[in-house]
A and B are shown apart, each in its own frame.
Chain A
C-alpha cells in the first residue's frame, strides 16, 4: 500500500517569493513515480511536475522544482517567484511503476495544501 502525507493544510506566501510545499510518502514498491498537481477553484487537475524514483536528478519544470530526498521519503515542491495565479490547492501523488518507469495511472493522493499568494 502507498501513503502520501501533506502536513500543511494551508500556506501563505508573498508575491514574487519562493514557497516550499511539503510531501512525504510511504511505499513498499521499489519503483514508483511522484507527481504534483495544482487544482484551482474550477476543479481541474493541472499536472506540474513528475519525479521517478530512479531519477538521480531533481525534476524541474519552469518555476517548479521537486526536492526529492529518497532516503527521507520526501518530495517537496518548490515554487519560485510566486504569482497571484498560483493560489490554488496543491496535491502530491504517487503510483507504483513497472520496469522502465511506466506509470500505471492509479494515483494515491495526499490531503492537499491550499496555497494563497498575497500581493
Chain B
C-alpha cells in the first residue's frame, strides 16, 4: 500500500532556531500534500496545502513566513518552522494522495513531534 515517510519523528530545538520536517511519498507520486498541526489531546488542524512546483496555499491564521513549505518534487514536501518558539511546540503531520489512484484514501505520515525549549 501507499506509504508516507516523515522525518524526523521527533526533534528538540532551542528557541530562535529553524527546523525542517520532511514528508516523502515512498511508492507513489503526489502532486499535492497536506500539512496538519495537532496539539496534545486535540484535533488535527489543516495548516497548508503543498503543491508540487508552485506556492503552497495556507489556511487562514497560518503565517506563511513562519511555516515555509516547499514541494520541489512529486515525492517530497518540506515544512520549515522558522525562528521557532515554545508555542510552536506541537505534533506536525502530513498527508498525501496518490495522484494516479482513483481511491479516496489519504495516506498520513507518522508525524513529527517538535519541542522548542
Contacts and interface: CB of A to CB of B under 8 A. Distances in A.
A33 B46 contact: no
B49 interface: yes
Nearest to B6: A44
Given A43-B93, A44-B110, A44-B111, A102 B104 contact: yes
A43 B104 contact: no
B43 A103 contact: no
Given A43-B113, A45-B93, A109 B43 contact: yes
B15 to A, nearest CB: 23
B67 interface: no
Q: Name the residue in B32, B43, B96 with the highest tally of chain A Cβ atoms < 10 Å from its Cβ.
A: B43
Of B34, B97, B104, chain A has the most CB atoms within 10 Å of the CB of B104
A43 B91 contact: yes
Given A43-B113, A45-B108, A109 B97 contact: no
B77 interface: no
Contacts of B49: 105-106
Contacts, number: 59
**Range of interface residues on B (Cβ < 8 Å):** 20 to 34
A78 interface: no
Interface in A41-73: 42-45, 47, 50, 52
Contacts of B96: 105
Nearest to B30: A105
A94 B42 CA distance: 17
B44 interface: yes
Given A105-B106, A107-B34, 9 more contacts: A47-B108, A52-B104, A101-B104, A105-B32, A105-B95, A107-B44, A109-B43, A110-B43, A111-B43
Shortest beta-carbon contacts, A-B, top 6: A45-B108, A103-B104, A43-B111, A44-B110, A109-B43, A109-B44
Interface of A: 33, 35, 37, 42-45, 47, 50, 52, 91, 97, 101-103, 105-112
